[in-house]
Amino acid sequence: MQDIRIAAVCMHAEPGDLDKNLKTTESFVTQASEAGVNIVCFPELSISGYALDNPGRIGEAMPRQEILEQVTGMARDRDIIIMAGFIEASGGEKPYISQMIAGPEGLIGIYRKTHLSPQEKKQFRAGEQIEVYEQGRLHIGVQLCYEAHFPEITTVLALEGADIIFLPHASPRGTPEEKTRSWLRHLPSRAFDNALFIIACNQVGETAAGLSFPGVALVIGPDGNVMGSYGGLRENMLTADLKAEVLKGMREHRMKYFLPNRRPHLYGQIAK
């Protein structure tokens, strides 16, 4: 890993309003670039908006190639890595919940949510691949919202070399304070148990689809401690500097780096 500055954005995303959501995205990308940010992460489904009522219709109306080209163009023009979410038509009955990773040199990858909530299963198709995305000396993993409750995903990404895991959310209901308390029950453990950085952010505001999102963003270090946070009802960008030496210190610690002492032959029940 190398030293980097990240930004986690709490953004209002109106379902189906591609032009507005892309303009908001570009505005935050500009702010992030001017602040010296290397990676800016937007919430789950930030470009398409989050909807459970016929999201396939929204996905079909979203020109996939145009979205990829526009976001990749922003990344190229601002020399920054952008992580943004959209409803992606799958070619089947249900669309994917996808998060694209674009860099100055083009598209780095597209992660498709592998673990869907009970409500999402009715409307979306699950992805089938958990992978780490590389950009130079950076190794990045993605988990989306509900997936934060599956520690197996985080461990798989850590074993595959991830140094940072981004957790974009579209998690409605509750106040920012309630959502923050909820996240602090499990996200520090994901960071500490796997010795990596965790970056999480949520959509914010009430949408025409009738969902209200509390704005929350957290940056958690590999020691499980909160490095930065935001909680509020307005759009906001939280920035933080991630230091390679902090990660190295945790992974060289005899007692605090747990992964080398795993005994996978005892964990067969997990895979059933």
Do residues 233 and 176 lie in contact, with contact meaning Cβ atoms separated by under 8 Å? yes
Question: What is the C-alpha to C-alpha distance for residues 78 and 25, in angstroms, rounded to an integer?
Answer: 13
Question: What is the C-alpha to C-alpha distance for residues 145 and 202, in angstroms, rounded to an integer?
Answer: 9
- Please tell me the total count of domains within the chain: 1
Q: How is the chain split among helix, strand and coil, in percent rounded to 5?
A: 35, 30, 35
Q: Whole-model pTM?
A: 0.96
Domain that holds residue 100: 4-271
Region 159-179: mean pLDDT is 97
Is residue 259 over pLDDT 90? Answer: yes
Place of tokens 């999102």: 213
Region 200-212: mean pLDDT is 95
Average pLDDT, the chain: 95
* CATH number of domain containing 263: 3.60.110.10
Question: Cβ–Cβ contacts within 10 Å for residue 121, how many?
Answer: 12
Q: Which helix (H) or strand (E) holds 62?
A: none
Region 36-52: mean pLDDT is 96
- Angstrom CA distances, 60 to 19, 91, 92, 158, 272, stand at 15, 10, 11, 34, 35
Q: What is the pLDDT of residue 141?
A: 98
Region 103-114: mean pLDDT is 97
In 3D space, the residue among 106, 98, 231, 240 whose CA is nearest the CA of residue 164 turns out to be 240
92: Cβ contacts below 8 Å, ≥ 6 apart:
125
Q: What is the pLDDT of residue 64?
A: 87
Q: Residue 151's pLDDT band (boundaries 50, 70, 90)?
A: very high
Q: pLDDT digits over 58-70, tens only?
A: 777 778 899 999 9
Q: Which helix (H) or strand (E) holds 29?
A: helix 18-34
Region 252-261: mean pLDDT is 95
Q: What is the pLDDT of residue 62?
A: 75
Question: What is the C-alpha to C-alpha distance for residues 75 and 79, in angstroms, rounded to an integer?
Answer: 6
